C-alpha cells in the first residue's frame, strides 16, 4: 500500500514504530492517522492496517474513509476510469456515509464495515490504548475531558450524512455539470535536486586560488 501511493522506500512500518518510540521517549504525544478504502486497498490490506494500528503505541488514533479530493492523482485516476459517483463537493468529507466512488476492489459497505472495525479493534477494545489515554489524562489533568469526549465518541455513529454547510447567496453561484464535463487532471510540479551550475568567472577564480 505504501508503494502504491509513492511512499515505498521512504516510509515503512518499521520507521513508523521507530518514530513513535522516539517521540514518546522525548515526551511528545504521538498521533496516528489511518485511512481505509484507498484505491489499491483490499480486505486483506485493510485488515493489515487495523492489525498495525492496534499495536503501535500512539496517544491518539483516528481512521477515516479515503476521499479522492479534486486535484489529486487519485481523483484524476477515478475520473479517467469513470468511477466517480458524486461531484457534490459538500459530500467530500472523510467521515461521509455517502458512496462517492466506485471502488475497483471493494463495495462501499465493506469499506464502512472495516472503518467501524478499526474503531472497535484499535480504540474501544484495545486495552493498551485505553490505558495510555488514562495515564495521559491523569498526567496532563485532562482526564475528565478525555472521559467526556470518550462518551460522546462511543455514542456517535462512525460515519454521517449530515450536511450543515450554509453558503452566502448560493443561488447566485454559477452552475457546472461535472457529470458531463469532469474536472481536468491537474498538472503537478516535480521537485528534483540538481547540481547548481557555476559561473565561468567563479570557476576561474576557484582554480586561481
Residue-wise pLDDT tens digits, 103-123: 999 999 999 999 999 999 999
Domain-located, residue 36: yes
- What ranges make up the beta strands (E) of the chain? 31-36, 60-65
Give the SS3 label for residue 62. strand
* CATH (domain of 61): 3.30.750.200
Q: What is the CA radius of gyration of the chain?
A: 23
Q: What is the mean pLDDT of residues 177-196?
A: 73
H/E element, 190: none
For residue 198, name the pLDDT band (cuts at 50, 70, 90). low
Q: Between helices 108-119 and 43-55, what is the axis angle to 10°?
A: 10
Which has the higher per-residue pLDDT, 34 or 6?
34
Domain-located, residue 130: yes
Q: What is the mean pLDDT of residues 2-13?
A: 79
Domain-located, residue 126: yes
Q: Which residues of 21-41 are buried (b: 16+ CB within 10 A; e: fewer)?
A: eebeeeeeebebebbbbbbeb
- Look over the chain and give the mean of its residue pLDDT values, rounded to a whole number: 86
Domain-located, residue 180: no
pTM over 0.85: no
Domain-located, residue 152: yes
Domain-located, residue 171: no
Q: Residue 205: what are its φ and ψ, rounded to 5°?
A: -65, -40
Which residue(s) pair with 64 in the sheet?
Answer: 35
As for how many domains the chain has, the answer is: 1
Domain-located, residue 56: yes
Q: Which residues of 66-87 are buried (b: 16+ CB within 10 A; e: fewer)?
A: bbbeeeeebbbebbeeebbeeb
Residue-wise pLDDT tens digits, 76-108: 999 889 999 999 888 898 888 889 999 999 999
Q: For position 9, what pLDDT does the model report?
A: 66
Half-sphere exposure of 113 (CA within 13 A, CB side): 8
Residue-wise pLDDT tens digits, 17-69: 999 999 999 999 999 999 999 999 999 999 999 999 999 999 999 999 999 99
Q: Which domain holds residue 116?
A: 3-166+185-208
Domain-located, residue 10: yes
Statement: residue 199 has pLDDT above 80: no
Statement: residue 200 has pLDDT above 60: no
Amino acid at each position: 500500500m505504501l508503494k502504491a501511493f509513492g511512499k515505498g522506500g521512504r516510509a515503512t512500518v518499521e520507521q513508523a514504530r521507530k518514530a513513535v518510540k522516539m517521540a514518546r521517549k522525548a515526551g511528545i504525544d504521538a498521533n496516528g492517522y489511518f485511512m481505509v478504502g484507498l484505491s489499491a486497498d483490499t480486505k486483506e490490506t485493510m485488515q493489515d492496517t487495523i492489525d498495525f494500528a492496534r499495536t503501535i503505541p500512539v496517544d491518539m488514533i483516528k481512521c477515516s474513509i479515503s476521499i479522492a479530493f479534486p486535484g489529486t492523482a487519485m481523483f484524476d485516476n477515478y475520473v479517467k476510469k469513470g468511477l466517480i459517483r458524486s461531484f457534490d463537493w459538500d459530500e467530500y468529507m472523510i467521515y461521509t456515509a455517502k458512496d462517492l466512488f466506485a471502488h475497483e476492489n471493494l463495495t462501499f459497505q465493506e469499506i464502512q464495515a472495516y472503518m467501524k472495525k478499526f474503531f472497535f479493534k484499535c480504540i474501544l477494545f484495545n486495552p493498551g490504548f485505553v490505558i495510555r489515554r488514562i495515564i495521559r489524562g491523569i498526567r496532563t489533568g485532562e482526564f475528565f475531558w478525555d472521559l467526556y469526549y470518550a462518551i460522546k465518541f462511543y455514542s456517535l455513529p462512525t460515519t454521517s450524512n449530515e450536511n450543515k454547510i450554509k453558503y452566502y447567496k448560493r443561488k447566485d453561484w454559477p452552475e457546472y455539470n461535472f457529470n458531463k464535463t469532469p474536472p481536468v487532471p491537474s498538472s503537478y510540479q516535480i521537485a528534483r535536486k540538481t547540481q547548481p551550475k557555476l559561473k565561468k568567472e567563479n570557476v576561474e577564480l576557484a582554480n586561481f586560488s
